[in-house]
Structure 1
Amino acid sequence: MTARKWVEAWIRMGAGGTVMGGDYVRSGCNTINSTINRLNAAQCHPDYANALVRFRSGYYIGLPSGGRFECG
């Protein structure tokens, strides 16, 4: 939610320069990736890590250009 608010403010200001809210998205991506790694290291059932991989693919902020700011 915080990331979306910052990106919306960035869009209102003309969408120039660095994407505001990008740090929040990157932080979320890092947390998701870390959790996937922990699940795999703990040899949990693959369904759990796979569910997070699918979630990560939908974790993004849409930009006015039609692009997406997402996990890389």
Structure 2
Amino acid sequence: LRAIIENYGGGPVGLGTLGVAVGEDKGTIEEVYEPFLIQEGFLQRTPKGRVATAKAYQYLGIDRNASDKDLFDS
């Protein structure tokens, strides 16, 4: 979840890209981690990729609006 939020602005991010970012096989993510995260309401699967939910931001204590800032914002 933290990788999706911090590296990809909350998503969407593809499964293969996410696997590389966290150093995990995409099959393991899809079969082990993803079902739990979806069931608990932390992750959504969309046609464009995986997206962190508002509940994920809240759980991790990350301000959702702060993570949306542009690279050049001060």
TM-score, normalised to structure 2, is 0.25
TM-score, normalised to structure 1, is 0.25
Bigger helix share: 1
Higher relative contact order (CA 8 A, sep 6+): 2
